[in-house]
Structures are given as C-alpha cells and as structure tokens.
Amino acid sequence: MNPFNYHKPSTLAEAVALHRDAEDPAYLSGGHTLLPTMTQRLAAPSDLIDLEGLAELTGIAAEDGTLSIGAFTRHAEAAASAEVAGTLPALAELAEGIGDAQVRNRGTIGGSLANSDPAADYPAAVLALNAVIHTDRRQIAADDYFRGLFETALEEGEIITRIDFAIPSRAAYEKFPNPASRYATAGVMVADFNGTVRVGVTGAGPCGCRAHAFEAALSAHLDPAALDAAELPAIDFNSDLHASAEYRAHLVRVLAQRATARLVAAP
C-alpha cells in the first residue's frame, strides 16, 4: 500500500471541505472495496477521509410510509434492525445475504451505493422500493441514480447521507449468489405498492435497472406465470467466468418469478 494522509472529520461539512482541498482524495466508508484495491496498489489516493461516526450519516427510522436508513449503516446493522424487520423484512433479508459476516460487519449501504458494483445487492432494493438518495447537496431519485458500470449520478466529492425507501404493501428479494463471494450473479426484488408493482434487478447488467415489462405484467396480474413471456430488460447482460449473458438473462426471469411466488404466498 502507498502512503496516504488519514483524516477523521467530525462533521459532514468538514468531510466535504477536506475532500475539496486534497490532491487525490477518497472517502472511506466500510472500506471493503477501497482498502483491498489500495493494498493491491490499484488505487493510491493521497488522502483518506473516514466517514465513520458522522451524525448526519447514522440512524434508522420508519415513519409516514418511509424507511430512512443512514448511509453509514453497516449491512449487519440493517439486517438486525427492528425498524427494518418491522417495515421492510425483504430488505432485512437482502442485507443478511450480502457477502459474509466480515463484509456485513464492515460494509455500509452508502458505500455500496456510491461504489455501484454491478453485482451488489442494494441496487435492486433501491430501484424496486423507489428510494430517494439524499446527499450533502441534494436528493436523487432511484431512477436517476444508476448510470453505468461503477457510474452513478454522484458528483466529485458528493456524499450520500441517507436513503429513504418507500414502504410497499409487500416485497420479496431473490438472488442467485456466487457460491464463493455471495455477490449476486443476478438478483431481483419485486415490490407491490397496492397493486402497482416495481421490479429492481441487479447483477445482470452494468448497473442496477428496473424490469419495466415485468412490472406491467405483474401490475396487471400478480402471478409468476405472468412473467413467462414478458420481455426482459433491454440491457447488455454481463458475461464472465461465472455466468454467460444468456444464463444471466434466464436467471432474471426465474428469480423474478420466485420472488413473485414468495410475495403472493406471504401472509
């Protein structure tokens, strides 16, 4: 690892100012992507700005149909939270299924979304649950947030502060985990908002996306069979040593059907 300056700001404003003034800075959240990259010397930021402990980035609260999760919430905290379990059990289950215990104890929801790894789990939930991403300078709608491979709407130096999820009538998440990393080879969340269905997909393409034709089919008829002939999202499906593009496309339909089956069977 190359040498770097370490900063531990105590306010959000201080963090943003440190970033603005440093030569080649990076924010540090859970560090489970950034630090391995730095130890491999594939990234060598001049300054690391640690976001841990910033009050603006913490807390979980549910009210008025919205579940608000602070950006520094670790996956394990989201999975164990009574507020999350009580309002959005599908999201608690998603968090519980991320990586392994070490990743869940360090990784954060804000870090995951800022990185926008194509195989991360949270993007499926952000899109299916029509989330609003709050930053130090604005609010970004889920549909405007994901732009491409590791590309988001975030500007240089912008910090995610919290994510507000709309609480659906019911939701279910199904993923096909890579057996080694537990990354989503593909993952689909189906959310029912009083008959209007949203479907968020991750792992399949360059970034999270919605499956609009699936949504239309399920909004008309909430049944796994409604997806038998529905059109897949028009994305460039990923192909790598774990799964071909054709296989991922197949997984997206099957996982959406499994999620729908669980959703309609739920009490």
- Any contact of residue 112 with another protein (CB under 8 A)? no
C-alpha R_g of the chain: 18
Q: Which of 71, 119, 125, 218 binds another protein (CB under 8 A)?
A: 119
Contact 112, 148 (CB under 8 A): no
Min dist. Cβ of residue 41 to another protein (A): 5
Min dist. Cβ of residue 224 to another protein (A): 29
- Any contact of residue 37 with another protein (CB under 8 A)? yes
Contact 128, 200 (CB under 8 A): yes
- Any contact of residue 5 with another protein (CB under 8 A)? no
Q: Which of 59, 86, 148, 195 binds another protein (CB under 8 A)?
A: 148
- DSSP state, 74? B
List the strands of the sheet with 25-28, edge to edge: 5-7, 47-50, 25-28
- Any contact of residue 97 with another protein (CB under 8 A)? no
How many residues form the binding site for another protein (CB under 8 A)?
Answer: 28
Pairing type for strands 132-135 and 66-70 reads: unpaired
- Any contact of residue 58 with another protein (CB under 8 A)? no
3-state secondary structure of 108: strand
Contact 200, 120 (CB under 8 A): no
- Any contact of residue 118 with another protein (CB under 8 A)? yes
- Any contact of residue 40 with another protein (CB under 8 A)? yes
Q: How many CB atoms lie within 10 A of CB 122?
A: 31
- Any contact of residue 43 with another protein (CB under 8 A)? yes
- Any contact of residue 41 with another protein (CB under 8 A)? yes
From the list 227, 217, 235, the residue with the least C-alpha distance to 253 is 227
- Any contact of residue 264 with another protein (CB under 8 A)? no
Min dist. Cβ of residue 44 to another protein (A): 7
- Any contact of residue 121 with another protein (CB under 8 A)? no
From the list 119, 113, 143, 146, the residue with the least C-alpha distance to 131 is 143
| Footprint of another protein (CB under 8 A) | 24, 33-34, 36-37, 40-45, 115-119, 148-150, 178, 183, 206, 236, 238-242
